[in-house]
Amino acid sequence: MAGDSILSKFKKDEEAKAVDTSKKLRVGIIGTGWIAEAHIDSYKRMPDVEVVALADIIPGKAAAFAEKYGVPDAHIYGHHTEMLAAEELDAVSVCTYNMTHAECTIDCLNKGIPVLLEKPMCVTLDEAVAICKADKASDAVLSIGFQPRFDENMKMLKRIVQSGELGRIYYIQTGGGRRRGIPTPFGTSFIEKETAGIGALGDIGCYSLDMVLNSIGYPKPLTVSGYKSDFFGKSPDFPHHDKFGVDDFAAGFIRLEGDIILDFRIAWAMNLDTPGDTIIMGTKASVRVPSTECWNGSIGGPLVIYKEIAGEQVETIVPEKENEADCFDIKIRSFIDAVKEGGAAPVPSSEILYNQAIIDGISRSAELGREIEIVIPEI
């Protein structure tokens, strides 16, 4: 996931502004599972960062991680609260499974420690509101780990929408999925209710929601009619069906402020190649983002703009852009830069609150079997 391409970015950055290594930032990682590997890989390539503490509630896991990733001097803890009580940290990566995102993040923010929190932000809207309140009350930076935000093609999509070329946006379709791709490569924490809380809806659904909502400026969601199912995860053909406690498919029809319709569907498994491309329809033009086999924040081909010029129906293909560095590395670097420079959060919780409200709304509407209003308390 994390490549060494970030080095070239540093090289380029160093020409403009040398990285100040006079004081190394003392970083801690909470949760030393799969994604923590990508975090430590990035941190270890940064000359101004030192990973000094690791916490994992599974006995021996953080120590083995320290050994494997070449930080034998890092202090080892079990529960995250033990680490926070004992260490003076400049920043923390929260890399736990979804169900403990909120408590870990809020505990860090309450101690004034900046947090890079892995996606999805959390599980429920109540948790999202609690995170946003803690964020507002704290001086520390909180950034949510959406690396596709740093993809040049995603930035281009936002620029196209924000340019006004599409006119008034009135309908959006987004989502995606995998034909077979329930994630269990490193255990079952993605599929158990107690650890994940939500399935495809939160895991990959949050990315497609962020792609379109970020492009249009994150309008407030108002109502949702949601659906979710678990036919593939619960099937006896799936090896971990006895542990499966979340959704493997979800869909929602959401009304957004500004009279915009958002039609969304996401799958970890389905009898289909793709549930459709992402499309953003406007009164002057529309844009298509080709779907990928495994929707995780990439694009499946060049963006296409459809419009009418002088009475002709025309299409413009937007050339695909190369990223200067790995987006995961950029997400981590941008967080560290915000911490060092006292800058704004690269991916603020105030935006992802609406992403989480939609996820929560789809889930609750599906359970109730009817459309519901999305009510977001004042933060």
CA angle 359, 215, 128 (to 5 degrees): 30
Interface pick for ligand NAD out of 50, 56, 151, 360 (rule CB under 6 A): 56
Work out which of 8, 14, 23, 58 binds ligand NAD, going by CB under 6 A. 58
Cα radius of gyration rounded to whole Å, the chain: 21
Are the beta carbons of 229 and 260 closer than 8 angstroms? no
Is 107 one of the binding residues for ligand NAD (CB under 6 A)? no
| Cα distance between residue 357 and residue 368, in whole Å | 16
333 binds ligand NAD (CB under 6 A): no
What is the spatial distance between Cα 365 and Cα 243, in angstroms, rounded to a whole number?
A: 24
Asked if 30 interacts with ligand NAD (CB under 6 A), we say: yes
Give least dist CB 78 to ligand NAD, A: 7
100 binds ligand NAD (CB under 6 A): yes
Q: Is residue 119 within the footprint of ligand NAD (CB under 6 A)?
A: yes
Instruction: Confirm or reject binding of residue 104 to ligand NAD (CB under 6 A).
Output: yes
In this structure, what token pair is assigned to residue 8?
Answer: 């070239």
Per CB under 6 A, the segment of 10-18, 85-93, 181-189, 337-345 that binds ligand NAD is 181-189
Number of residues that bind ligand NAD (CB under 6 A): 28
Residue 209 is classified by DSSP as H
Instruction: Tell me if 135 contacts ligand NAD by CB under 6 A.
Output: no
Peptide bond into 348 cis (omega under 30): no
For residue 207, which amino acid is it? Answer: Y
Phi then psi for 286, rounded to 5 degrees? -130, 160
Could you say whether residue 203 binds ligand NAD (CB under 6 A)?
A: yes
Angstrom distance (rounded) from CA 226 to CA 264: 9
And the tokens for 93? 């990566």
Mask: binding to ligand NAD, 60-99, rule CB under 6 A, as x and -? -x-----------------xx--------------xxxx-
33 interacts with ligand NAD by CB under 6 A = yes
Pairing state between β 303-309 and 312-318:
antiparallel
Select 61 or 228, whichever has its Cβ closest to ligand NAD: 61
d(CA 144, CA 89): 19
Contact residues toward ligand NAD (CB under 6 A) are 30-36, 55-58, 61, 79-80, 95-98, 100, 104, 118-119, 145, 147, 186-187, 189, 203
